[in-house]
Amino acid sequence: MAAVHRQFLEQLAARDASIGMSPDPLNVRVRELILATPALLTRTYAWSTRGTQLLAHELIAEADGERSSPDEAVARCAAMQIAAARTSLHDEIHRRRIKGEGVDEIYPTMVTLAQKVFGLVENGLGEYAVRR
C-alpha cells in the first residue's frame, strides 16, 4: 500500500498527465472525450479491470499466497480497493480541473486527500461513517 501511495504522490508532484495533473487544457478535454464516447469508455474499463487483475496477482505473490485459492479472492478484494482509491482521486482531480482550478492550486489539497483515501484502504474503514 505504501508503494502505491508513494507513487501517487510522486505523480502529483510531477504534474503527471496520466492522473489529470497536466496544466495543459487538452488533458481535461481528452478525459471528457473518453467519458462521452461509449467505445472509449468500454476500452478504458477493460484496461482498468486488467490492471486490477494484474495487481491482484502481484499481491498474491507478495503475500506468498496461491492462485486459484481463497488467497486469490482476498488479493482481488485488496486490488479493487486500491484501484477504487486511485479512481476516486483521479475523479476529484478531474472534477476540480473542469471547474477551472489549476494543477498548482489543487496540488496541496490532493496531497492531503491522498493521505486520507490511502489511509482508509491501509487501515480499513473501521470508524468511517459509523452512525452513533
Q: Return the C-alpha cell found at 108.
A: 496541496
pLDDT of residue 46: 95
pLDDT of residue 11: 97
pLDDT of residue 89: 97
Q: Return the C-alpha cell found at 62.
A: 507478495
Q: Return the C-alpha cell found at 70.
A: 481463497
Distance CA 62, CA 65 (A): 8
The closest of 117, 118, 49, 52 to 79, measured between CA atoms, is 52
pLDDT of residue 24: 94
DSSP secondary structure string, 10-31? Answer: HHHHTT-GGGT--S-HHHHHHH
pLDDT of residue 129: 63
pLDDT of residue 128: 66
Distance CA 132, CA 87 (A): 29
Low pLDDT (below 50) residues in the chain:
none
Alpha helix stretches (DSSP H) within the chain: 2-13, 25-36, 38-62, 70-98, 103-123
Overall pTM > 0.75: yes
Q: Are 117 and 89 a contacting pair, CB within 8 Å?
A: yes
Count of positions (residues) in the chain: 132
pLDDT of residue 106: 97
Q: Side-chain half-sphere of 91: how many Cα atoms within 13 Å?
A: 8
